[in-house]
Structures are given as structure tokens and as C-alpha cells.
Structure 1
Amino acid sequence: MKQAPALSLARPAALSDADEAALTDLYVRGTPANTLRAYERDLIYITAWADAAFEKPLSWPEAEAVALRFILDHARDLSDANPQDPARATAETLIAAGLRKTLACPAPSTLDRRIASWRAFHRMKNIDSPFDAPLVKQARAKARRAAARPPAPKSARPITREVLEALLEACGPSLRGLRDRALLMTGWASGGRRRSEIVGLRREDVDLAPFDAEGLIWLNMLETKTTMQGKTPRLVLKGRAARTLVAWIDAAEITEGPLFRAISKADRPLPRGLSPDAVYQIIKRRLLLAGLPEDYATPHGLRSGFLTQAALDGAPIQAAMRLSLHRSVAQAQKYYDDVEITENPATDLLG
């Protein structure tokens, strides 16, 4: 299977080589890291699909027929399709390459994201996208409606305060345990941070100046999924969470670089930072040690748990959103709506 081509911008006649390179660099620097990673994954998938379906590389601009075929190939369950069906044969090639899991119809959100990436590549090259053609747009809308399904939760259960306490208790006295406690408490108490945001923190992002006098820490995050680079509000950490993070920084003697780091078998901190997957492994391990199933919750449970606990404690949603950095009240409201009505603080207004 051919390797995905490097994405480069089409050069208008007036641009020099230097200007083209500068423009490409501007796109990269002006796009969040998570989005760039998603673009890369989608480009690999789309390129592999075109190779399997047509035995040809992508074209710029792409033909409407190719865009329509992409939608049709991903708009139905291919499990019962004839083995000679071209769409099934293409899907089996992608499965063999590890780029697709099953022959089942992908989630509409997955198809939408890949199409959005494909359209973004066209915009970067300053050319029209075939997905804007009337027939292709209509097919995409019909595919989304035909495959509609209830949204799957990102975490089986929210990590509420009670669950978090169980995980913290399971961390133990070692340096690894201290790191895990600091990571979990920082991720939860600072507003329910995403795992990429947790591992992206650096020592330079942590302002300890007010800790001795006020018992709080300021986190100066560079960017999040919902905020632009350099536009992220400062987040506060206080109480036990702040004390635990300071204890980790002191014990690991971290003066610069990644805040949360790998730990050696000898229980010593290593220079390299953790990957997002490491957060998943830490939560899974601590769940098991706490006597809970390893699939009880995922890293997103820190985020959903923070908002769920805020609802349980009667915190105004606007106050919770100042830490979670949700842009949409409707999105944050979902966590508040999930709280059992009998546990809603508003039911106790009369005492």
C-alpha cells in the first residue's frame, strides 16, 4: 500500500519558494496540535482508501465521483455484502492494514471528520472541494441520517469525587504513586482536563509564587481543544490538589520540562514526559487496584466527573465552565442533566 503523500500547499504564481514555505509553516503553527494529528491520521486513511478503491493517488482537486464513492463506501454495513462487492473488498484491505476495525458502518461523526479533513486539505491548496457539489452534499446528508445512532459516551462512568478518592487511595506511597495522585488530582480539580492537556503541561506552565501565602497554584496552559494558542485563561489549583502537585514537583526535582514524567523500575523520575495513552494506562491500573473493573471509566471520566460533581454540589454551571473551558453551555449542560433528579440540590430548597 502506498504511503500517504506529504501535504503541501498549491503555490499561486505570485508566490516564491520562500513564500510558499512560509505559508505552509503558518498553517502548521496556527493549527492546534490535536487537529494536526487528526489531519495526519485522516490523510493516511483517505490515501489508503483511494489506493485500495481506485489504485491511484489522491487528486487535487479530487473528482466528484471519488468523493461520492467515499461516502457510499462508508454509509452502509458491509458485513452482509457480497464478497465481490468493491466497497467490501476495499474495506477488507483497510482492515488488513490496521486502518479500519470492522465491516460495520462507521459512525457518522467519523465520516464527517474525515470529510472535514479532506475539505480542509483542499482549502489549504486554495482549490474547490468536491464535497461542496450539490449531489455529494445531498448524499452526505442522507448518509448521516441513515446511520444516525445515539451518541456513545466517551467514558463508561464519570469519575466523581467518591471514585477519585478510591483511585487516590490506590496510588500508594511510592514516587510513582505520588505522580499518579498529582496527575489525577490536577486533571480533575483544574476543571476536568483532557489527557492531551494533562501530559502537555510543563513545569514552566506552573506558577508556584502564590502557594506559600495563599495555598494555590496558577496553571498557564498554552492551548486546549476549545481555546486558541495564547488565549487560554489561567486555571487555578488549590487545597489538596495544589499541595500534592507541589509535593510531586519537589520529590521529582522538576525545574523545567514536562510536568508529568515517566518513572523507572527503580522508582526514579525520567526526563521524558508521558504520552496521552499513559493517562489511560494509569487510570486503568488504579481502577484495578481500587477493586473496580479496568473499563469502569476512561480518561474522559475526569472531565465528565468534574462537571457531574459540580452539578451534585450545586455549583452554577457558569462557574464550572470557567474551569472546564467549555464554549457551549448546551454541551456542559449534558453533564448536569445526567445527575439523578433526586440528588439535585434544587430538590432540597425547602429543607
Structure 2
Amino acid sequence: MTPPTPYLPPPSPALSAADQEALTELYVRGTPANTLRAYERDLLYVTAWKTARFGTAPDWPESEATALAFILDHARDLGGAPDTDIARQAAQALITQGLRKSLACPAPSTLDRRIASWLAFHRMKNLPSPFDAPQVKQARAKARRAAARAPAPKSQHPITRDVLEQLLATCRGSRRDCRDRAILMLGWASGGRRRSELTALMREDVSLKEFEKHGLVWLSLLETKTTGKGETPRLVLKGRAAQALVHWIEVGQIKDGPLFRPVSKADRMLKRRLSPDAIYQIIKHRLKLAGLPEDFATPHGLRSGFLTQAALDGAPIQAAMRLSLHRSVVQAQKYYDDVDIAENPATDLLG
């Protein structure tokens, strides 16, 4: 993916054309694909907002007044603002362009992410950021506190073991069924893998050397949300999960290239990799076949379900985190807390 021009390193007279090209290519290789996509979306949003609000494109560096206006425009509910309110008019323009869903106050995390991207664009161009100014930083902190809300769960329900078994029961004998079974089992049993991690897997990332003798399959993830390239430890699959993955590799005759691929309606294997959105569609399809609502869970339910089940089974949180690769104990502990509090004797004091 080619990153947006404004956050590429600026041309430097001290660099030759070849070195400048190498520096640009380094920026691309050194930035995760998900971050590139987020940068692209945020740059599009910021550009459209400033055009609608001020009638001009972003400046480099941007002014403190513009940064402050951006925070103020996104720190309140504009639904009750008069039609003549310039912030409401800009928001309405963004809604028309499909860049904003409503006039409601955006979530603090959304505002934080867009500001972080805007700040990153300045840093990559070696320019001072207006968001570092004391007044702007203070306004941002106040906006975050004023709009604070409980974080919405990424998946309505965790896909615990019993739910997973219902989904697996819908995978019967077709090539697509074999693929979906392997995705569900690998995604759950390896610690709750994210969609991008599942679709990034290559056949070369899977080692079957110990499968025949010990029933083990080793996975080598290139990188995750919390680990960079070369930092991700190997993960292991065993039992039914290992068998399902090996069966998929055999049925799909996958000798190299993407591990998980689209399967045509005629049950033929395609060569390209699955997109992350395809994992969402697979979960949705299996939920429907299992007789559950299609919005019962999302792909993140594999991750939350793994940790929830680990807590239910009494697995130490440190052991679960070695597979889930959570960097924060606090984040992983949330799943354990939800289980622990339900079993806490203090909740039965009234009888």
C-alpha cells in the first residue's frame, strides 16, 4: 500500500534521488499495514474537515487555531446546534461525503486517533505539531474527560468453548467447511488471533515437523498489534486444532503462499489470500448456520472467548497471555475480572 503523500518524508537537498527513494520505501516497510490504512482514512477525514470548515487544504505545519477548532468541533454533540453553526455545517458536509456517521459527539478514542495521525504527519515531515501547544493539549484533555464513556465491547459476546463447538458443528465436508474449521480452531486455540493475523499467515509460517510424532503444529506470526517483526514468539497448536489445520493444508493442497484462501462456489481453491473482512463474513455465516443471531459475535469474539474460557477453566492469566500476546496485564485481566466477579462470594451476601 502506498501511504498518503503528506506523511512521507519531505525531499531533502542533502539526499540523492536514490537515497530519498530509499527513505520513502523505508517509511512504507516500517509502518504496519493497519497503521497505513488508518493514516489514509484519517488524512482523508482531516482534509475534508478543513476544506468544509475553512475552505482550504491542511497546512504544514498546521496552525494552533485550526488544531483547537478541530478539537472543539469534535467535543460536543452538534445535533442541537443551529443550522448556522459552522461546526454543524462542516459535520454535515462530512456526513454527505460518507466520512462521518452522525452529528453526535464522536468517541474520545476516535478523536485521539485522528489527532495522533495528524501529529504523526507533522513528525514525519520534521515539523512542529500544533497539538503540542499547551492550550491545545489542555483542550484535548478536557474534551477527553467531557466526552468520557464506557468502552463498547468489540464483540457482543465472547466465543467461549460451547459457542465455538456450535460453529464447528456447521463445518461438514466441503473444502470451504475444512477451511472455516481450521480458521475457527486456529483463531481460537492459538490465543485468539486477530483477523489481520489470520489472513497474513503463509504456508511457510507453519511447521509440521513435530506433528506426526508429537501432534504439535508451530506457528510463526510475522508481527501482531503488540509485537513487531522478529519479536513475535512462536505459537503452538495441538490436539483437534492441529489436526484441523493439517487437514486443511492437505485438502487445499497448500504447498506455499497464503495459508487461508477464498474458495469458489464450485468449491475450487483460489490463489489469493483472504481479506480481513472475509473472516468477519465467515463468523457471521457460521453463526447463522448454528441458529444464532448474525450479530451475536464478531471475529474479536475468538480472542475474548479464548481469554474468558481460560478464566473459567482456572488457567493462570500469565499462561493465557503467552498465547494471546497481550502486552498489558490490565487489558487481559478485564476478561478474568468479568468471570471472577460472578463467582465472588460477596455477590451473594443478600441471598
Alignment TM class, shorter chain as reference: over 0.9
How big is the alpha-carbon RMSD for the aligned residues of Structure 1 and Structure 2? 1.3
The residue aligned with 1:139 is 139
CA contact (8 A) 1:310 1:320 kept: yes
Shift of 1:15: 2.6
Moved more, 96-105 or 10-19: 10-19
The residue aligned with 1:317 is 317
Residues 98-152 of structure 1, C-alpha deviation per residue, up to 9 Å, x if partnerless?
Answer: 1111111100000000100111111100110000011111110111011000111
SS at match of 1:262: coil
Q: Letter of the aligned partner of 1:137 in structure 2? A: K
Percent identity between the aligned chains?
A: 72
CA contact (8 A) 1:312 1:343 kept: no
C-alpha distance in 2, partners of 1:192/1:85? 46
The residue aligned with 1:122 is 122
C-alpha distance in 1, partners of 2:291/2:172? 14
SS at match of 2:75: coil
Q: How does 1:267-346 map to 2 (within 5 A)?
A: 267-339=267-339, 341=341, 343=343
CA contact (8 A) 1:321 1:332 kept: yes
CA contact (8 A) 2:6 2:121 kept: no
Instruction: Mark the runs of 5 or more structure 1 residues left unpaired by the alignment.
Output: 345-351
CA contact (8 A) 1:203 1:258 kept: yes
Q: How does 1:91-102 map to 2 (within 5 A)?
A: 91-102=91-102
Residues 300-343 of structure 1, C-alpha deviation per residue, up to 9 Å, x if partnerless?
Answer: 00000000001111111001000000011111000111115455
Q: Report the CA distance shift for 1:285/1:143 in structure 2 as closer, same or farther (over 3 A).
A: same
C-alpha distance in 2, partners of 1:117/1:233? 29
TM-score (norm 1): 0.94
C-alpha distance in 1, partners of 2:21/2:112? 29
Shift of 1:24: 1.9
**How many aligned residue pairs are there?**
341
CA contact (8 A) 1:32 1:229 kept: no
Residues 163-194 of structure 1, C-alpha deviation per residue, up to 9 Å, x if partnerless?
Answer: 00000001222111111110010000000000
SS at match of 2:262: strand
Shift of 1:16: 2.8
Q: How does 1:15-94 map to 2 (within 5 A)?
A: 15-94=15-94
Shift of 1:6: 4.9
Shift of 1:231: 1.2
Shift of 1:5: 5.1
Residues 266-297 of structure 1, C-alpha deviation per residue, up to 9 Å, x if partnerless?
Answer: 11111111111111111111111111111111
Q: Letter of the aligned partner of 2:198 in structure 1? A: I
Q: Report the CA distance shift for 1:114/1:342 in structure 2 as closer, same or farther (over 3 A).
A: closer
Q: Letter of the aligned partner of 1:79 in structure 2? A: G
Instruction: Mark the runs of 5 or more structure 2 residues left unpaired by the alignment.
Output: 345-351
C-alpha distance in 2, partners of 1:214/1:233? 20
C-alpha distance in 2, partners of 1:108/1:17? 41
Q: Letter of the aligned partner of 2:214 in structure 1? A: E
C-alpha distance in 2, partners of 1:328/1:56? 41
TM-score (norm 2): 0.94
The residue aligned with 2:179 is 179
C-alpha distance in 2, partners of 1:205/1:137? 44
